[in-house]
Amino acid sequence: MTRGGINFIEVLGRFRQKQAVYFDEILYIKADGNHSKIYTKSQRVYSLKLTLRDLLLKADERFLRVHKSVAINSTFVKRLDLSNNMVRVEDTMLPVGRAYRKNTIQVLSKIWV
């Protein structure tokens, strides 16, 4: 289920044309100040002038904030390394913040059961 019936985020592609990036294509999102970078399965990176918080309001329930500057698509999580506070999404290791650790464990344990 998606929020508001939308299952994509509109970004500017090459040559500044609008392009849809579907949620099932997004691996993770990193915050960069007032901007966010979306990393996809096809190894493309899109930059948006939108905060991570605002972007997560548009995303659906599979997106999980694991750090103050990182949100992941929980369907692509391969491993949760609690001893190093890291989560592996496909081939990328991403940090898990102390404030987000408990919620990350709860949400991912529901998915993996």
Give the CATH number of the domain where residue 26 resides: 2.40.50.1020
Going residue by residue through the chain (113 aa), what tens digit of pLDDT does each one get? 345 566 889 888 778 888 899 999 999 999 998 999 999 999 999 999 999 999 999 898 999 999 999 999 999 999 999 999 999 999 999 999 999 999 999 999 988 76
pTM recorded for the entire structure: 0.90
Give the pLDDT of residue 4: 54
Range of the domain at 92: 3-112
Token pair for 85: 């506070």
The pLDDT value given to residue 15:
80
The residue type at 93:
M
Number of domains into which the chain is organized: 1
Name which of 63, 67, 96 is nearest 79 in CA terms. 96
Exposed e or buried b per residue across 57-72, where buried means at least 16 C-beta atoms within 10 angstroms of its C-beta: ebbeebbbbbbebbbb
Strand partners for 79: 88
The CA-atom distances, in angstroms, between 83 and each of 86, 87, 102 are 8, 11, 13
Give me the pLDDT at residue 5, please. 61
- What pLDDT, on the 0 to 100 scale, is given for residue 50? 93
pLDDT at position 92 is 96
The tokens of 20 are what?
């849809």
